[in-house]
Every structure is written in C-alpha cells, then in structure tokens.
Amino acid sequence: MKIPLNKPYISKREIDFIQDAINNRKISGDGFYSKKVAKFIENKFGTKLALFVNSGTAALEMASILLELSSKDEVIMPSFTFVSTANAVLLRGAKIKFVDIEKKTLNIDPEEIKKNITNNTKAIYVVHYAGISPDMDIIQEIAEENDLFIVEDAAQAVNAKYKNKYLGTIGDIGCYSFHESKNYVCGEGGAIVINNAEFIERAEVIWEKGTNRRNFFKGKIDKYTWIDIGSSFLGSDINAAFLYAQFEKMDEILEMRKKIHELYNQKFNQIARKDTFRFPLIPEYSKPNYHIYYLIFKNQILRDSMMEYLNSQEIGVAFHYIPLHRSPMGISLGNKNNNLPITEEYAYRLLRFPMFPEIKKEMIDFISSNVDRFLSNF
C-alpha cells in the first residue's frame, strides 16, 4: 500500500471556476476571482484588507517592505521555520535574531523573545507551526511594551484560531500560503492580510509594482504612475479561481482533517510502546486547522530508523525543517555559536505522517500497525 505524505484535495468545482476565469478574458492579477478570494478572507476572518499574492513568500516579502526594515533593524523569529520567513527580512538588509521555541507547540518562546530585545529590535515574526499558535496575548503585550510590530507567518495556519481570533489577523500583518502542500491550495499562491490601518494604502501600491494602479481602476485617479518601491506580487486569476473552489469547502476540509488527526491519536494510543514518542499537544486556547500530524520520538536514532523503515513500506513520512541557524546560510550570518537547545533537539526528533483529507481509515490502520511492529522490534 503506497501512501503519500500529502495529496491536494480537489473539490470538483476548480475546473468550472478556471473555465469561467478563462471565459472572462481576465486571467492576470486583481481579476474577478482574485477579488472574490480577497473578499472571502476579509469577511470570514475579519481583517481590514486582504490581497491575493503569488505565494506565501511574496506575502512575507511585502510585509518586510511595509515595515520599512533596513540595515539598522533587528527582527526576532524562530529558527524552526521555512527559509522564506528569514529571506524576507534579509532582502531588506535587516538582521535576524533567531530564538528558541517552546516544547509544547514548537513555536517561538515568549520568554526568549523578551531576552533578545535590543534597542534595534523592530519586529517579531511569529510562525504558527502546524496551524497552532504560541500564546499571542503574551506576545502582543511584549510587542506593545517595546513598540514592536508583529508579523504572523500563518502559512500553515489558514482557518485556525487563537481563542476566537483567526491566526493571521492578530498581529499588524498576516501572511498565508496556498501552496500545494497546504490545507487550501491553488498550486502556488498566498495572501497578505493587513490588520494595522496605517499599512493599507501602501500595501496596495507595493502589491502593484510600486504604482497607484489600483486607485486608477477604482476611478480615484485619471492615470497611474510609479510612486514607491514594489514588485509584481499579484497572483494569477486562474490560481485564484482554483482557490475559490477550495474556499467553498473550507470548513468541510477542516472537519475532515480533524477526524484524521483524532484517528491517528486513537490508533497511536493503542501502541504498546507509546512511551517512545509524544503526540502533538494542542493548548486550550487553540482551535487548530490540523495542518500537520507529527510524532516526537525519544531520540534522533529512533526517529531516523522509524523514517527509514516506514519509507521502505512506501509510507510517506518525513522530517521537517533543518533549524535555520544551523544551515550554511544561517552560519554565514554569524549563528555558529547560537545555542537553541529545544529547537536543535526537537527538530531532529520530529517525524511527519501522511495527512490529507482523502486518506482512508485502512491507510491509517496500515501506518499505525507498521509503527507498532517497528517499535516492538527496536
């Protein structure tokens, strides 16, 4: 039985909407479906402005431009994240301060944020790993006390909540991804959500290559011109059409993923040697979107051996991030002696399991029985 790590969910309406976008003869950015996607995000999640962009990476890069980061600034972020979080800051010339994560959520540790604030700190980039957030109330307090911006890297957290607030709508700016590997997909795509009103007008300019083109199409000006820096951050309307079909099934997809998560927990809880691993922990304040299912094993040797065995059984399991401060680029930035013990320990003990809406119960039975078999002989 061959089981992939991920398989994008298709709602069956994607083709209809793509055909409609083609029939509209408007397939570039800021078209009919791009606007529908943005309006859906604004209405459902309650943000001041949403813009459909070509990737989650683009959203992070836009956020860094909006903050006007420069070489005199420092940004605090976890090392346990995707490279786009860091690249967005480096491209503006700012310095990154990687800090450690907390064991419970694998997210940035608020206490480590406090320890690393200096006079040059301008922002905190908070990553919501696996669709679960850190304690955002504490992080907001830290930001307010120190006059810092918060950017939420919510690439994995679309439709997840902290208490009653959607992730991505709590900080000054939120960044979403709709990459093929995410819960809601369009191949390549993302969104930037603006929660701080002071960034709204400039966000639309940066999004449109540094021009006031959007105001021109709104009829606010009689011609558009270059007024600021920017880039071609817009996503294609074909991608937006695909995504809108996914949005129509947003809560249905969430419910399917929740049931899979619960079934994994149930099956793994029946394993005789369950003392050799730890389940994902969901804080009381969290309403996750069940983006990733992972186990934390007792040590790296066990994790690596399990991964090799399960892959040999054609079960698509995988580790996740190599901590950025230990990557060649991270070391070149001066992180050689940066000690982040929890990040370094947990990154090498974590193993991700197949997680997609259409996974069958018999597949999870097959996975859990193989985990049990391996542990019984290890």
Query: What per-residue confidence (pLDDT) applies to 217?
Result: 85
The residue ranges of every structural domain in the chain are 14-248, 250-377
At 274, is the pLDDT very low, low, confident or very high (cuts 50, 70, 90)? Answer: confident
Once rounded to an integer, what is the mean pLDDT over residues 306-315?
99
Please check the confidence at residue 378 and state whether its pLDDT lies above 90: no
Q: Please check the confidence at residue 337 and state whether its pLDDT lies above 80.
A: no
Say what the pLDDT of residue 7 is: 97
* pLDDT reported for residue 234: 98
pLDDT confidence of residue 164: 96
pLDDT for 317 equals: 99
307 falls in which pLDDT band (50, 70, 90)?
very high
The pTM assigned to this predicted structure is 0.97
* 54-68: pLDDT as tens digits: 999 999 999 999 999
Q: What pLDDT is recorded for position 335?
A: 79
- Mean of per-residue pLDDT scores for the chain: 97
Q: Can you give the pLDDT at residue 279? A: 94
| pLDDT in the model for residue 344 | 96
Burial 262-282 (b: 16+ CB within 10 A, else e): ebbeebbeebeeeebbbebeb
Find the mean pLDDT for residues 17-43. 97
Q: What is the pLDDT of residues 108-130, one digit of tens each?
A: 999 999 999 999 999 999 999 99
Residue 188 confidence (pLDDT): 98
Q: How far apart are CA 212 and CA 203, in angstroms?
A: 10
Q: Which fold has domain 250-377?
A: Aspartate Aminotransferase, domain 1 (3.90.1150)
What string of DSSP letters covers 110-179? HHHHHHT--TTEEEEEEE-GGG----HHHHHHHHHHHT-EEEEE-TT-TT-EETTEETTSSSSEEEEE--
pLDDT higher than threshold 80 for residue 336: no
Do residues 172 and 151 touch, judged by C-beta distance below 8 A? Answer: yes
Percent of the chain with pLDDT strictly greater than 70:
100
Residue 136 near residue 116, CB atoms below 8 Å: no
The pLDDT of residue 189 is 99
Phi-psi region of 184 (alpha: psi -120 to 50; beta: other; left: phi over 0): beta
Percent of the chain with pLDDT over 90: 96
Q: Per-residue pLDDT for 10 more than 90?
A: yes
Stretch 140-146: mean pLDDT: 99
Predicted pLDDT at 139: 99
Q: Is the pLDDT of residue 326 over 80?
A: yes
Instruction: Give every CB contact of residue 348 below 8 A, 6+ residues apart in sequence.
Output: 300, 303, 319
Mean pLDDT of 197-222: 95
Q: What is the mean pLDDT of residues 342-363?
A: 98
pLDDT band at 161 (very low <50, low <70, confident <90, very high): very high
Q: What is the mean pLDDT of residues 44-50?
A: 98
The pLDDT value given to residue 308: 99
pLDDT at 315: 99
Architecture of the structural domain at 14-248: 3-Layer(aba) Sandwich (3.40)
The two three-digit tokens of residue 139, written as one number = 């992080």
